[in-house]
Amino acid sequence: QVQLVESGGGLVQAGGSLRLSCIASGINLRLYTVAWYRQAPGLQRELVATISSTDSTNYADSVKGRFTISRDSAKNTVALQMNSLKPEDTGVYYCNAVAKFSYFGARDYWGQGTQVTVSS
């Protein structure tokens, strides 16, 4: 059974930092493009950062220079280091892993989310 479990969310003051982790079981996360999304109340889910299977990274303009996505293959995890947090970073953060295999086809997995709240 495949599971993605996010952790590391919480309440932090503006300017502070948090480190989110996405731990996978049942799949080898190294083979997947992993993304962090967030969803604020009343808003659509938005893409925050991605890391490809070759460790190429991309970020939303709103988080560039503040957030860093990284992979630890030994621990089968992907982390999102969030610095200089702003109240507008508040939301539920979700981990997503996608891949397309020639034999098994497309795979798309989501975690349950972790709440990040940034107070002003």
- Strands 18-25 and 77-82 come out as antiparallel
Note the pLDDT of residue 67. Answer: 98
Tell me the pLDDT of the chain (120 aa) as tens digits: 999 999 999 999 999 999 999 999 999 999 999 999 999 989 999 999 999 999 999 999 999 999 999 999 999 999 999 999 999 999 999 999 999 988 888 999 999 999 999 999
Cα distances from 67 to residues 25, 49, 82, 83, 105, in angstroms, run 25, 8, 4, 6, 31
Note the pLDDT of residue 19. Answer: 98
DSSP 44: -
Instruction: Give the Cβ contact number of residue 40 at 10 Å.
Output: 14
Cα distances from 34 to residues 15, 16, 68, 101, 119, in angstroms, run 26, 24, 13, 15, 28
